[in-house]
Amino acid sequence: MTTAVASHPLRDSTTMVRRNLKRMVRYPSMTVQLIAMPVLLLLLFVYVFGGTLGAGIGGPSGGRAEYVNYVVPAILIITIATIVQGTAVSVAMDMTEGIIARFRTMNIARVSVLTGHVVGSVIQAFLSVAVVVGVALAIGFRPQAGFGDWLALVGLVAAVSFALVWLTVAIGQSSQTVEGASSLPMPLMFLPFLGSGFVPTDTMPEGVRWFAEHQPFTPIMESIRALLMDTPVGNDVWIALAWCAGIALVGYVWAKKLYNRKV
């Protein structure tokens, strides 16, 4: 186990991040597609369902205008979920190409191939979140967040995307095909629906409601909503961060194990 050769984890990771960013620039249609999805959902929910759902939620003004403010946190989670689905696909693509075999035979920090994907995707996630927030503002989203709230939001978005990216880096490696990698993270897209993302949980039947209140995305979306609307955050943010830490840890350990496996 003794090794005389130097290890450069930081430099190797930076190199790999640069590689992944370059790949995103070279293959822009993928990023565009990944950003288009949540934007379309936002427009759908605000302009098609928003009138009715907004009326159901109530609130001072009610209707569509109210619903934009309600639904944005869910759309942000879907934005991140879409991006990490792309991560799974690009990791799977990488694994099927010979270049990963080359990396494995080189004396580079092993984890750097994975951290390259992780950091690249987190950057991509921030980019899409910014676009989605921009569109939301354009169609009437009116957040009440102060400077501190925005900082906290950035931190929370970073934590959520970091956690989900590690999970999908593992999923991308575990699936044998690129097609498999694109469908396996699908549940992440649906979880916001089975939570407090689109309608409050208290209108749901008991079993669904129990699930909705205890699944990880609900505290995350509640925290984002509270920060955006400048309402009390309560315990949700700690529960949210705990979920993120747990998911990140599981994803990291799983991803690393898959990457280091020797048949």
Partner 1 sequence: MTNNAAPPVIVVSELRKSFGDKVVLDGIDLNVPQGTIFSLLGANGAGKTTAVKILSTLIAASGGRAEVAGHDVASDPDSVRAAIGVTGQFSAVDNLLTGEENLRLMADLNHLSKKDGKRAATDLLERFDLTEAARKPASTYSGGMRRRLDLAMTLVGSPRVIFLDEPTTGLDPRSRREMWQIVRELTAGGVTIFLTTQYLDEADELADRIAVLEGGRLVAEGTADELKRRIPGGHVRLQFTEPSEFRTAQRVLGRAAHSDGDALALRVPNDGSLRSLKALLDQLDHESIEVDGLSVHTPDLDDVFLALTGDSDNKKVTNR
Q: Which residues bind partner 1 (CB under 8 A)?
A: 1-8, 11-12, 15, 18-19, 22-23, 26-27, 97-99, 101-108, 262-263
Pick 11 or 257: Cβ nearer partner 1:
11
Neighbours of 105 (CB within 10 A): 8
In whole angstroms, how close is the CB of 112 to partner 1 at the nearest point?
8
In whole angstroms, how close is the CB of 214 to partner 1 at the nearest point?
41
Q: Which of 235, 232, 254, 231 is nearest to 243 (CA)?
A: 235
In whole angstroms, how close is the CB of 82 to partner 1 at the nearest point?
20
Pick 17 or 68: Cβ nearer partner 1:
17
Q: Which of 244, 253, 257, 249 is nearest to 77 (CA)?
A: 244
Question: What amino acid is encoded at 222 in this protein?
Answer: E
In whole angstroms, how close is the CB of 79 to partner 1 at the nearest point?
24
Pick 112 or 223: Cβ nearer partner 1:
112
In whole angstroms, how close is the CB of 10 to partner 1 at the nearest point?
11
Pick 7 or 231: Cβ nearer partner 1:
7
Pick 104 or 257: Cβ nearer partner 1:
104
In whole angstroms, how close is the CB of 207 to partner 1 at the nearest point?
43
Question: What amino acid is encoded at 40 in this protein?
Answer: L
Pick 101 or 138: Cβ nearer partner 1:
101
In whole angstroms, how close is the CB of 97 to partner 1 at the nearest point?
7
The CA distance from 176 to 92, in Å, is 8
DSSP letter at 48? I
Distance of CA 248 to the CA centre of its chain: 12
The CA distance from 130 to 24, in Å, is 17
Take residue 257 and report the two structure tokens written for it: 């194990």
Q: How many CA atoms lie within 13 A of 1 on its CB side?
A: 0
In whole angstroms, how close is the CB of 254 to partner 1 at the nearest point?
20
Instruction: Specify whether the CB–CB gap between 44 and 75 falls below 8 A.
Output: no
Pick 14 or 182: Cβ nearer partner 1:
14
Pick 19 or 64: Cβ nearer partner 1:
19
Take residue 171 and report the two structure tokens written for it: 């999923």
Q: Answer positive or negative: Cα dihedral of 145, 243, 77, 197.
A: negative
The CA distance from 219 to 215, in Å, is 8
Q: Which of 167, 178, 19, 183 is nearest to 84 (CA)?
A: 167
